[in-house]
Amino acid sequence: MTLEERLNLVKRENEILLNMGPQHPSTHGVIRFIVRADGEIMVEALPVVGYLHRGIEKLAEQTPYTGFIPYTDRVDYLAAMFANHAYVMGVEKLLGIEVPKRAEYLRVIACELNRIASHLIALGSMAMDIGAFTPFLHGIRERELINDITEMLCGARLTYNYMRVGGVSKDIDDRIIKKINDFLDRFLPGFIDEFNRLITNNEILVKRCVNIATVSADEAINFGLVGPNLRASGVKWDLRKNMPYSVYPELKFEVPVGEGFRGEVGDSYDRFVVRVKEMEESARILKQAVSQLPEGEILAKVPKRIKPPKGEVYSAVESARGELGYYIISDGTENPYRVKIRTGSFSAMKAIHIKSQGCFIADLVVLIASMDIVAPEIDR
């Protein structure tokens, strides 16, 4: 029996079945969509996931607590700092460890740099999916500058393995601080203004995105959307503000929400603009964090053999794709008894399935890109 038969995808009169993925450049990873269409109008785009399943949650049960940190980089390879951060926060809660203030600031600096880098890829690839190649190169140019900083900080440009239980692996020095300040000076407002002129306000992009796949606030909540996808629908929910962690309460920043910038609140264009505004806020957070960076240790005293007491904990951070959390159960041994990972991209797949109905086939790439899904977050 074929997959289509198992999914009961029977063609109705005047309908055609189209296959998009799993090797399609606009699915943003190894993801497949089976599109049922009536002419150019989609009846539905059904996500088929599992092509990138690696059993990472099962691996956690067979790996010591500290040994699992490098695996977390693979949960979301475009925003690996957040995957590191949420996991070590959970282990620290189990152990009752207090992280030094300097280490908390270094975590925030690393994560906000990573947020900008992730959004640059999301926005650049969305423009490229629509047909504008140049903005992607502009985004890659700025992202490479961030990659240079993270390489100086932890030796890696993609899968960082920077966070540690109790702090971070390496301190920051004056050379890195200067590099960060130089980047911020050119990024805000220089690059942001350039990017807005080049693409955000571009007439073609606006027409392709306005009023496409609009998700209302109630729908966003019911879909379980998080992060920019939720905020673009007008819901002001950000874990850094609503469930404060680390040193975010000491930093001043706004939470951008969708306002119907050119069309309806919660359309694909709102999701694009909210991410642009989030990059601006991340730059402001970075300026404060660098200027307020306290002296002190970067790593708390942690036992060489980590064996948390029996218990369970949930820890989450505001990743580039929204709430990224770990539910960890300890049975008192050196390995977690169970690790369950909650990601933003997984819940976005249901929204894509529902909101694709009635859209043009050409609008599917806009919808997928505006949700900023990444395949490893879906298949774990």
Write down all domains in the chain, each with its CATH number in brackets. Answer: 65-343 (1.10.645.10)
Q: Please provide the average confidence, as pLDDT, over all residues in the chain.
A: 92
Q: Is the dihedral of CA 157, 82, 239, 89 positive or negative?
A: negative
Question: Concatenated DSSP letters for 150-167?
Answer: HHHHHS-SSS---EETTE
Query: What percentage of the chain's residues is helix, strand, coil (to nearest 5)?
Result: 50, 15, 35
In this predicted structure, what is the pLDDT of residue 320? 95
Classified as helix, coil or strand, 38 is strand
Whether 11 shows a pLDDT value over 70: the answer reads no
In this predicted structure, what is the pLDDT of residue 9? 62
Please give the average per-residue pLDDT across 265-274, as a whole number: 96
Q: pLDDT, tens digit, for every residue of 86-113?
A: 999 999 999 999 999 999 999 999 999 9
In this predicted structure, what is the pLDDT of residue 133? 87
Q: Whose CA is closest to 12, among 40, 43, 48, 41? A: 43
Whether 215 shows a pLDDT value over 90: the answer reads yes
Question: Given phi > 0 = left and psi -120 to 50 = alpha, else beta, which region is 314?
Answer: beta
Q: Rounded to an integer, what distance in angstroms lies between the CA atom of residue 175 and that of residue 171?
A: 12
Q: Which pTM value belongs to this model?
A: 0.94
Please give the average per-residue pLDDT across 18-31, as a whole number: 82
Q: Whose CA is closest to 143, among 172, 168, 115? A: 115
Torsion of CA 132, 135, 140, 143, to 10 degrees: -140
In this predicted structure, what is the pLDDT of residue 30? 86
Whether 148 shows a pLDDT value over 60: the answer reads yes
Q: pLDDT, tens digit, for every residue of 332-354?
A: 999 999 999 999 998 899 999 99
Please give the average per-residue pLDDT across 327-333, as a whole number: 96
Whether 230 shows a pLDDT value over 90: the answer reads yes
- Residue 26 per-residue DSSP state: G
Distances (CA, A) of 135 to 139, 144, 148: 6, 14, 20
Question: Given phi > 0 = left and psi -120 to 50 = alpha, else beta, which region is 12?
Answer: beta
Distance of CA 88 to the CA centre of its chain: 18
Please give the average per-residue pLDDT across 164-193, as a whole number: 95
Whether 25 shows a pLDDT value over 80: the answer reads no
Strands 338-342 and 322-330 come out as: antiparallel
- Residue 297: CB atoms within 10 Å: 14
Residue recorded with tokens 């770990």: 326
Tell me the pLDDT band of 29, cut-offs 50, 70 and 90. confident
Whether 131 shows a pLDDT value over 90: the answer reads no
Residue recorded with tokens 């500290």: 66
Q: Rounded to an integer, what distance in angstroms lies between the CA atom of residue 85 and that of residue 315?
A: 9
